[in-house]
Structure 1
Amino acid sequence: MSFPNIYTHRRVAETAAKPCDICFRLSSSVLITPDNKDFFYICPSHLKDAGFCTPKIDQAAIEARKKKELEEEIERVKKEYEEKKKKKEEKDKKDKKGDKDEDKKDGKDEKEKDKDKSETKEDSKPTSPKPEEEEPRVFELKPTFYQQRINKKRQMEIAKRNRERMQDPSFFPSVPKSLP
């Protein structure tokens, strides 16, 4: 009975929290194997402990996330450029029309320029804050803890097998029928 030393971190509902296998405090974090053969509750602080487990980094997922962020940034810059270009064209059109009525609209133009400046300041701010760094989801236990998990699983199987044997009536010896 062996299972891979790869555990996925999952969260359960707070109402389903059970004691941590290490420190026995209530925890809603669970480490589970991909084939669901083994699982145990663990505190999130233990996951950060280098003596307990090491995170397995998925390079493909990191590269895909970086590529997606880069594409979003390019799209945002393109939109900003188009907006600035549009505003500049509108301003040029107003300037051509404004040459005739320049003396009348001086006060209004200054107000519009102030508005444009405030809008560009607002546009330059990032629309969405950077997502905080995700915690690793896949872990590999250190050899001593992994061996403890294997031993515990074996003991559970042995206990289950013994319970089944005890329920079988042929397990116990029968009473002797002949005289000694």
Structure 2
Amino acid sequence: MSLTNIYHLRRVADTSSKACLICYKPSTSVLITPDNKDFFYVCPAHLQDRHFCSAIIDTEGEAARAKEKRMAEEIEKVKKEYEEKQKRKKDKEKKKKNSEEDDKDEDKEKDEKKADSKDSNTNEEKERDEKIESIKNGGSESKKDDSPRIFALHKTFYQMRVDRLRGIEMAKRNQERMKSPSLFPSVPTKEL
């Protein structure tokens, strides 16, 4: 049986945790081969152990993550510039309105100020909501796990996994042989 020495890290729910291969503590991290022939549970601390496994760096994935990060930074920069321009525009409009309001009656002035305050309140609420969304989006990105996802086991642990799979295969073959009647000798038919 051929088994590749490439294991992908997967996470399972807390309710599905099982004993770690090394220390037997409950773990939600699973190392599995790409062809799903072999898998085992392992603690995240053991993944950092250089004598257990080594990370295989995915250069394409790293490049894609870096590109996404740069794009996000550029988007944030453009958003900030746009917000600053909008604020400047609002300030200019307010100055114009203030000069026009001086010419009008005080009653009209009060009505417009109330309308402006309502507009500014709605604008402030929109800005606050945008900030909350950006914080939420930023929080979800910070929770994203940047640890390596692909590992190669060191030769002793890899050989242990190969031996285990061979033993399972041999046990299945032996069970099949035991079930077949041709394994045992037949009863002699000649009389003495």
Calculate the TM-score normalised by the size of structure 2: 0.73
Q: Deviations over 1:112-145 (max 9, x none)?
A: 9xx9xxx8xx899974346145222211100111
CA distance in 2, matches of 1:30, 1:144: 19
Give the aligned partner of residue 18 of structure 1.
18
CA distance in 2, matches of 1:156, 1:134: 35
CA distance in 2, matches of 1:78, 1:5: 45
Task: Report the alpha carbon displacement of residue 177 of structure 1 after superposing the two structures with TM.
Answer: 3.0
Give the aligned partner of residue 46 of structure 2.
46
1:131 is aligned, of 126, 131, 142, to 142
CA distance in 2, matches of 1:147, 1:24: 20
Aligned-residue Cα RMSD (Å) equals 3.0
Identity of aligned residues (%): 46
CA distance in 2, matches of 1:162, 1:139: 33
Q: Which has the higher helix share?
A: 2
- SS of residue paired to 2:8: strand
Q: Which residues of 2 match residues 94-113 of structure 1 at below 5 A?
A: 94-96=94-96, 98=98, 101=102
Task: Report the alpha carbon displacement of residue 171 of structure 1 after superposing the two structures with TM.
Answer: 0.3
Further displaced range: 131-140 or 72-81: 131-140
Q: Which residues of 2 match residues 110-125 of structure 1 at below 5 A?
A: none
CA distance in 2, matches of 1:35, 1:150: 14
2:163 is aligned, of 112, 127, 151, to 151
- SS of residue paired to 1:131: helix
Further displaced range: 154-163 or 122-131: 122-131
CA distance in 1, matches of 2:66, 2:45: 27
Counterpart residue type for residue 95 of structure 2:
D
Task: Report the alpha carbon displacement of residue 65 of structure 1 after superposing the two structures with TM.
Answer: 1.5
Structure 1 runs (4+) greater than 6 angstroms displaced = 122-126
Alignment length (residue pairs): 167
Q: Which residues of 2 match residues 161-172 of structure 1 at below 5 A?
A: 161-172=173-184
